[in-house]
Protein backbone atom coordinates (compact mmCIF):
# COMPACT_ATOMS: atom_id res chain seq x y z
CA UNK A 1 0.00 0.00 0.00
CA UNK A 2 1.18 3.51 -0.70
CA UNK A 3 1.56 5.96 2.14
CA UNK A 4 0.33 9.18 0.63
CA UNK A 5 2.44 12.24 1.14
CA UNK A 6 -0.04 13.63 3.64
CA UNK A 7 1.15 15.98 6.29
CA UNK A 8 0.67 15.52 9.99
CA UNK A 9 -0.11 18.73 11.82
CA UNK A 10 3.51 19.32 12.60
CA UNK A 11 5.51 17.90 9.68
CA UNK A 12 4.86 18.78 6.05
CA UNK A 13 5.58 15.74 3.85
CA UNK A 14 5.97 16.18 0.09
CA UNK A 15 7.31 14.11 -2.79
CA UNK A 16 9.69 15.72 -5.28
CA UNK A 17 12.11 14.75 -8.04
CA UNK A 18 15.77 15.76 -7.67
CA UNK A 19 17.64 15.42 -10.98
CA UNK A 20 15.48 12.50 -12.07
CA UNK A 21 15.48 10.79 -8.65
CA UNK A 22 12.37 10.64 -6.47
CA UNK A 23 12.70 11.93 -2.93
CA UNK A 24 10.35 12.42 0.00
CA UNK A 25 10.87 15.63 1.96
CA UNK A 26 9.89 16.04 5.63
CA UNK A 27 9.68 19.70 6.71
CA UNK A 28 8.91 20.99 10.20
CA UNK A 29 6.77 24.15 10.37
CA UNK A 30 8.60 27.47 10.16
CA UNK A 31 9.19 29.05 13.54
CA UNK A 32 8.72 32.77 13.94
CA UNK A 33 12.25 34.05 14.47
CA UNK A 34 14.02 31.28 12.68
CA UNK A 35 15.57 31.82 9.28
CA UNK A 36 17.20 28.55 8.20
CA UNK A 37 16.94 24.93 9.30
CA UNK A 38 19.40 22.07 9.60
CA UNK A 39 19.02 19.16 7.20
CA UNK A 40 19.66 15.42 6.83
CA UNK A 41 19.82 13.55 3.53
CA UNK A 42 18.67 10.04 4.51
CA UNK A 43 19.26 6.86 2.48
CA UNK A 44 17.24 3.84 3.62
CA UNK A 45 18.53 0.29 4.02
CA UNK A 46 17.24 -3.02 2.65
CA UNK A 47 20.14 -4.72 0.86
CA UNK A 48 19.86 -2.40 -2.19
CA UNK A 49 16.71 -4.41 -2.96
CA UNK A 50 14.02 -3.78 -0.34
CA UNK A 51 12.11 -1.01 1.46
CA UNK A 52 11.23 2.46 0.24
CA UNK A 53 11.35 6.13 1.16
CA UNK A 54 7.65 6.58 0.41
CA UNK A 55 6.02 3.17 0.91
CA UNK A 56 7.78 1.90 4.01
CA UNK A 57 5.97 2.78 7.21
CA UNK A 58 9.14 2.16 9.24
CA UNK A 59 11.27 4.64 7.27
CA UNK A 60 8.49 7.23 7.08
CA UNK A 61 8.22 7.01 10.85
CA UNK A 62 11.99 7.34 11.34
CA UNK A 63 12.30 10.37 9.04
CA UNK A 64 9.27 12.08 10.58
CA UNK A 65 10.68 11.61 14.09
CA UNK A 66 14.08 12.92 12.92
CA UNK A 67 12.48 15.99 11.36
CA UNK A 68 10.49 16.66 14.54
CA UNK A 69 13.27 15.95 17.05
CA UNK A 70 15.95 17.89 15.19
CA UNK A 71 13.68 20.60 13.75
CA UNK A 72 15.39 19.68 10.47
CA UNK A 73 14.44 19.19 6.83
CA UNK A 74 14.87 15.47 6.09
CA UNK A 75 15.27 14.36 2.47
CA UNK A 76 14.65 10.62 2.07
CA UNK A 77 16.02 9.27 -1.21
CA UNK A 78 13.88 6.87 -3.27
CA UNK A 79 16.73 5.24 -5.20
CA UNK A 80 15.89 2.42 -7.63
CA UNK A 81 16.29 -1.14 -6.37
CA UNK A 82 17.43 -4.62 -7.36
CA UNK A 83 16.20 -6.33 -9.57
CA UNK A 84 15.15 -3.28 -11.61
CA UNK A 85 18.72 -1.96 -11.50
CA UNK A 86 22.08 -3.13 -10.11
CA UNK A 87 25.34 -1.42 -9.14
CA UNK A 88 26.25 1.34 -9.88
CA UNK A 89 22.70 2.66 -10.44
CA UNK A 90 21.67 2.77 -6.77
CA UNK A 91 24.84 4.71 -6.04
CA UNK A 92 24.25 7.08 -8.99
CA UNK A 93 20.67 7.77 -7.86
CA UNK A 94 21.80 8.60 -4.32
CA UNK A 95 24.66 10.76 -5.62
CA UNK A 96 22.46 12.65 -8.11
CA UNK A 97 19.76 13.40 -5.55
CA UNK A 98 22.35 14.56 -2.99
CA UNK A 99 24.24 16.79 -5.45
CA UNK A 100 20.97 18.33 -6.60
CA UNK A 101 19.93 19.10 -3.03
CA UNK A 102 23.34 20.68 -2.29
CA UNK A 103 22.78 23.37 -4.96
CA UNK A 104 22.42 26.78 -3.24
CA UNK A 105 19.10 27.59 -4.94
CA UNK A 106 17.55 24.26 -3.90
CA UNK A 107 18.67 24.69 -0.29
CA UNK A 108 17.22 28.21 -0.34
CA UNK A 109 13.89 26.85 -1.58
CA UNK A 110 13.71 24.56 1.47
CA UNK A 111 15.14 27.22 3.84
CA UNK A 112 18.12 25.01 4.71
CA UNK A 113 21.34 26.30 6.27
CA UNK A 114 24.08 25.23 3.80
CA UNK A 115 26.61 24.83 6.61
CA UNK A 116 24.46 22.35 8.57
CA UNK A 117 23.75 19.33 6.36
CA UNK A 118 24.34 15.67 7.22
CA UNK A 119 24.36 12.60 4.97
CA UNK A 120 23.06 9.51 6.68
CA UNK A 121 21.74 6.00 6.09
CA UNK A 122 21.38 2.54 7.60
CA UNK A 123 22.75 -0.80 6.38
CA UNK A 124 22.84 -0.70 2.54
CA UNK A 125 21.79 2.96 2.88
CA UNK A 126 24.83 3.50 5.12
CA UNK A 127 26.90 1.99 2.30
CA UNK A 128 25.43 4.48 -0.18
CA UNK A 129 25.77 7.39 2.26
CA UNK A 130 29.47 6.63 2.85
CA UNK A 131 30.11 6.24 -0.90
CA UNK A 132 28.23 9.45 -1.74
CA UNK A 133 30.13 11.34 0.96
CA UNK A 134 33.45 10.17 -0.49
CA UNK A 135 32.38 11.45 -3.92
CA UNK A 136 30.81 14.82 -3.03
CA UNK A 137 33.49 16.05 -0.64
CA UNK A 138 36.30 16.39 -3.24
CA UNK A 139 33.89 17.57 -5.99
CA UNK A 140 35.17 20.98 -7.08
CA UNK A 141 31.83 21.84 -8.73
CA UNK A 142 30.04 21.77 -5.37
CA UNK A 143 30.44 24.83 -3.20
CA UNK A 144 28.40 23.27 -0.40
CA UNK A 145 29.53 20.11 1.33
CA UNK A 146 28.05 18.00 4.11
CA UNK A 147 29.06 18.93 7.64
CA UNK A 148 28.58 15.37 8.98
CA UNK A 149 28.03 11.78 7.97
CA UNK A 150 26.10 9.37 10.20
CA UNK A 151 26.21 5.68 9.31
CA UNK A 152 23.98 3.14 11.03
CA UNK A 153 25.30 -0.46 10.96
CA UNK A 154 26.65 0.21 7.45
CA UNK A 155 27.78 -2.49 5.01
CA UNK A 156 31.15 -1.30 3.72
CA UNK A 157 33.15 -4.17 2.24
CA UNK A 158 32.86 -7.45 0.31
CA UNK A 159 36.55 -8.34 0.63
CA UNK A 160 36.50 -10.45 3.79
CA UNK A 161 33.42 -12.46 4.78
CA UNK A 162 35.31 -13.88 7.77
CA UNK A 163 35.83 -10.88 10.00
CA UNK A 164 35.19 -11.77 13.66
CA UNK A 165 31.63 -10.42 13.43
CA UNK A 166 30.94 -12.46 10.27
CA UNK A 167 32.25 -15.56 12.03
CA UNK A 168 30.47 -14.86 15.32
CA UNK A 169 27.09 -13.95 13.77
CA UNK A 170 27.07 -16.14 10.65
CA UNK A 171 23.70 -17.65 11.62
CA UNK A 172 22.23 -14.60 13.36
CA UNK A 173 18.57 -13.89 12.47
CA UNK A 174 17.66 -10.83 10.35
CA UNK A 175 20.99 -10.92 8.51
CA UNK A 176 22.85 -14.26 8.45
CA UNK A 177 26.09 -14.29 6.44
CA UNK A 178 24.67 -16.15 3.43
CA UNK A 179 21.85 -13.56 3.11
CA UNK A 180 24.37 -10.69 3.12
CA UNK A 181 26.48 -12.46 0.50
CA UNK A 182 23.39 -12.96 -1.67
CA UNK A 183 22.56 -9.24 -1.35
CA UNK A 184 26.06 -8.47 -2.62
CA UNK A 185 25.74 -10.93 -5.53
CA UNK A 186 22.38 -9.41 -6.52
CA UNK A 187 23.73 -5.86 -6.21
CA UNK A 188 26.54 -6.81 -8.60
CA UNK A 189 24.22 -8.79 -10.88
CA UNK A 190 26.45 -11.82 -10.27
CA UNK A 191 25.81 -15.53 -10.15
CA UNK A 192 24.78 -17.37 -6.97
CA UNK A 193 27.32 -20.07 -7.85
CA UNK A 194 29.93 -17.63 -6.53
CA UNK A 195 28.53 -17.68 -3.00
CA UNK A 196 30.63 -20.61 -1.79
CA UNK A 197 33.87 -19.02 -3.02
CA UNK A 198 32.99 -15.70 -1.41
CA UNK A 199 32.22 -17.33 1.95
CA UNK A 200 35.77 -18.70 2.16
CA UNK A 201 37.41 -15.54 0.76
CA UNK A 202 38.55 -17.27 -2.44
CA UNK A 203 38.00 -14.01 -4.33
CA UNK A 204 40.69 -12.22 -2.31
CA UNK A 205 43.24 -15.03 -1.94
CA UNK A 206 46.94 -14.12 -1.80
CA UNK A 207 47.41 -15.09 -5.46
CA UNK A 208 44.69 -12.67 -6.66
CA UNK A 209 46.85 -9.78 -7.79
CA UNK A 210 44.13 -7.12 -7.99
CA UNK A 211 43.19 -7.70 -4.34
CA UNK A 212 46.69 -7.48 -2.88
CA UNK A 213 46.99 -3.70 -2.73
CA UNK A 214 43.73 -3.47 -0.76
CA UNK A 215 44.56 -6.03 1.89
CA UNK A 216 46.22 -3.56 4.27
CA UNK A 217 43.18 -1.28 4.18
CA UNK A 218 40.99 -3.71 6.09
CA UNK A 219 43.36 -5.77 8.14
CA UNK A 220 41.05 -6.44 11.07
CA UNK A 221 43.82 -7.87 13.23
CA UNK A 222 45.16 -4.32 13.55
CA UNK A 223 41.93 -2.30 13.13
CA UNK A 224 39.64 -3.98 15.66
CA UNK A 225 39.72 -3.84 19.47
CA UNK A 226 40.44 -7.12 21.25
CA UNK A 227 36.87 -7.15 22.59
CA UNK A 228 35.75 -7.58 18.96
CA UNK A 229 38.56 -9.89 17.81
CA UNK A 230 38.04 -12.37 20.67
CA UNK A 231 39.77 -15.62 19.58
CA UNK A 232 38.83 -15.53 15.91
CA UNK A 233 41.48 -16.26 13.30
CA UNK A 234 41.79 -14.59 9.88
CA UNK A 235 40.68 -16.66 6.88
CA UNK A 236 43.22 -16.01 4.11
CA UNK A 237 43.48 -18.42 1.19
CA UNK A 238 46.87 -18.89 -0.45
CA UNK A 239 45.39 -19.83 -3.80
CA UNK A 240 41.96 -18.67 -4.88
CA UNK A 241 39.94 -17.67 -7.92
CA UNK A 242 41.18 -14.57 -9.69
CA UNK A 243 38.39 -14.97 -12.24
CA UNK A 244 35.82 -13.82 -9.65
CA UNK A 245 37.30 -10.31 -9.54
CA UNK A 246 37.59 -10.35 -13.34
CA UNK A 247 33.92 -11.29 -13.57
CA UNK A 248 32.82 -8.79 -10.87
CA UNK A 249 35.38 -5.96 -10.72
CA UNK A 250 32.89 -4.00 -8.56
CA UNK A 251 34.02 -6.14 -5.60
CA UNK A 252 37.01 -3.76 -5.42
CA UNK A 253 35.22 -0.57 -6.57
CA UNK A 254 35.20 2.02 -3.75
CA UNK A 255 31.79 3.28 -4.89
CA UNK A 256 30.47 -0.14 -3.79
CA UNK A 257 32.94 -0.86 -0.97
CA UNK A 258 33.82 2.48 0.69
CA UNK A 259 36.03 0.81 3.32
CA UNK A 260 38.60 0.17 0.58
CA UNK A 261 39.07 3.89 -0.17
CA UNK A 262 42.59 5.26 -0.01
CA UNK A 263 43.75 7.40 2.90
CA UNK A 264 43.77 10.56 0.76
CA UNK A 265 40.00 10.17 0.35
CA UNK A 266 39.41 9.40 4.02
CA UNK A 267 41.33 12.50 5.16
CA UNK A 268 38.71 14.67 3.43
CA UNK A 269 35.70 13.10 5.15
CA UNK A 270 33.56 15.16 7.53
CA UNK A 271 32.99 14.51 11.22
CA UNK A 272 31.52 11.00 11.41
CA UNK A 273 29.12 8.95 13.54
CA UNK A 274 29.02 5.16 13.13
CA UNK A 275 26.57 2.96 15.02
CA UNK A 276 27.37 -0.75 15.36
CA UNK A 277 25.59 -3.69 16.98
CA UNK A 278 27.21 -6.72 18.60
CA UNK A 279 24.79 -9.24 17.09
CA UNK A 280 25.45 -8.22 13.50
CA UNK A 281 27.73 -9.62 10.77
CA UNK A 282 28.41 -5.98 9.76
CA UNK A 283 29.68 -4.85 13.16
CA UNK A 284 33.33 -4.97 12.03
CA UNK A 285 32.68 -3.15 8.74
CA UNK A 286 31.62 -0.12 10.78
CA UNK A 287 34.33 -0.50 13.42
CA UNK A 288 37.11 -0.81 10.81
CA UNK A 289 35.87 2.25 8.92
CA UNK A 290 35.77 4.22 12.19
CA UNK A 291 39.37 3.26 12.94
CA UNK A 292 40.62 4.05 9.43
CA UNK A 293 38.88 7.46 9.47
CA UNK A 294 40.40 8.14 12.88
CA UNK A 295 43.88 7.22 11.58
CA UNK A 296 43.23 9.69 8.72
CA UNK A 297 42.56 12.49 11.21
CA UNK A 298 38.75 12.54 11.06
CA UNK A 299 36.75 13.09 14.26
CA UNK A 300 34.74 9.88 14.74
CA UNK A 301 32.16 8.68 17.25
CA UNK A 302 31.79 4.89 17.26
CA UNK A 303 28.53 4.17 19.09
CA UNK A 304 28.51 0.45 19.86
CA UNK A 305 25.50 -1.42 21.27
CA UNK A 306 26.30 -4.71 22.96
CA UNK A 307 22.78 -6.10 23.08
CA UNK A 308 21.42 -4.94 19.73
CA UNK A 309 20.96 -6.60 16.35
CA UNK A 310 21.17 -5.62 12.69
CA UNK A 311 18.27 -3.49 11.52
CA UNK A 312 16.96 -2.80 15.01
CA UNK A 313 16.72 0.98 14.69
CA UNK A 314 13.64 1.03 12.49
CA UNK A 315 11.74 -1.39 14.72
CA UNK A 316 10.04 1.14 16.97
CA UNK A 317 6.40 0.70 15.89
CA UNK A 318 3.98 -1.87 17.31
CA UNK A 319 4.05 -4.89 16.92
CA UNK A 320 7.83 -4.73 16.43
CA UNK A 321 8.51 -1.99 18.96
CA UNK A 322 11.78 -3.28 20.43
CA UNK A 323 13.62 -1.39 23.15
CA UNK A 324 16.78 -1.86 21.03
CA UNK A 325 15.13 0.24 18.34
CA UNK A 326 14.26 3.15 20.62
CA UNK A 327 17.63 2.98 22.37
CA UNK A 328 19.69 3.14 19.15
CA UNK A 329 17.44 5.74 17.52
CA UNK A 330 17.62 8.05 20.55
CA UNK A 331 21.42 7.79 20.63
CA UNK A 332 21.71 8.54 16.90
CA UNK A 333 19.33 11.51 17.04
CA UNK A 334 21.07 12.87 20.14
CA UNK A 335 24.44 12.83 18.33
CA UNK A 336 22.94 14.60 15.32
CA UNK A 337 21.30 17.17 17.58
CA UNK A 338 24.58 17.93 19.35
CA UNK A 339 26.75 18.05 16.22
CA UNK A 340 24.66 19.25 13.28
Summarised one tens digit per residue, pLDDT across range 164-222 is: 999 999 999 899 999 999 999 999 999 999 999 999 999 999 999 999 999 999 999 99
- Residue 273 belongs to some domain of the structure: yes
Indicate which CATH number applies to the domain containing 320: 3.40.50.1820
Q: What is the pLDDT of residue 1?
A: 42
Catalytic option among 39, 56, 123, 165: 123
SS3 121: strand
Q: What is the pLDDT of residue 28?
A: 95
- Residue 51 belongs to some domain of the structure: yes
- Residue 58 belongs to some domain of the structure: yes
Residues for the chain: how many in total? 340
- Residue 218 belongs to some domain of the structure: no
Give CA separation, 224 vs 229, 282, 284, 289, 307, in Å.
6, 13, 7, 10, 19
The whole-chain average pLDDT of the chain stands at 95
Residue 119 lies in domain = 12-158+248-338
For 103, phi then psi, to 5°, come to -70, 135
- Residue 210 belongs to some domain of the structure: no
Mean pLDDT by 10 residues, the chain (340 residues): 57 97 96 90 98 94 95 98 98 98 97 98 98 93 95 98 98 96 98 97 96 94 97 97 96 98 98 98 98 98 96 85 91 98
Instruction: Count the domains in the chain.
Output: 1
- Residue 100 belongs to some domain of the structure: yes
Give CA separation, 105 vs 26, 42, 112, 199, in Å.
18, 20, 10, 47
Q: Is 123 designated active site? A: yes
Distance CA 174, CA 234 (A): 24
Amino acid sequence: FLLKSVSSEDINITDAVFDGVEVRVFEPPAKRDERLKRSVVYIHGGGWALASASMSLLYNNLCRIMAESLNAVVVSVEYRLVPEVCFPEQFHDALRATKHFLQPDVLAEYSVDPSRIAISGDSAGGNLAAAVCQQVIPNEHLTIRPKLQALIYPVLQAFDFNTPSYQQNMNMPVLPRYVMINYWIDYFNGNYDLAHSLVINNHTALDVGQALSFRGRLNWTSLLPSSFKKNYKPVIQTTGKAEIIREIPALLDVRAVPLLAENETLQLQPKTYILTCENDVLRDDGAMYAKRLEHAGVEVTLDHFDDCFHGCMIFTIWPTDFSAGVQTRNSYIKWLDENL
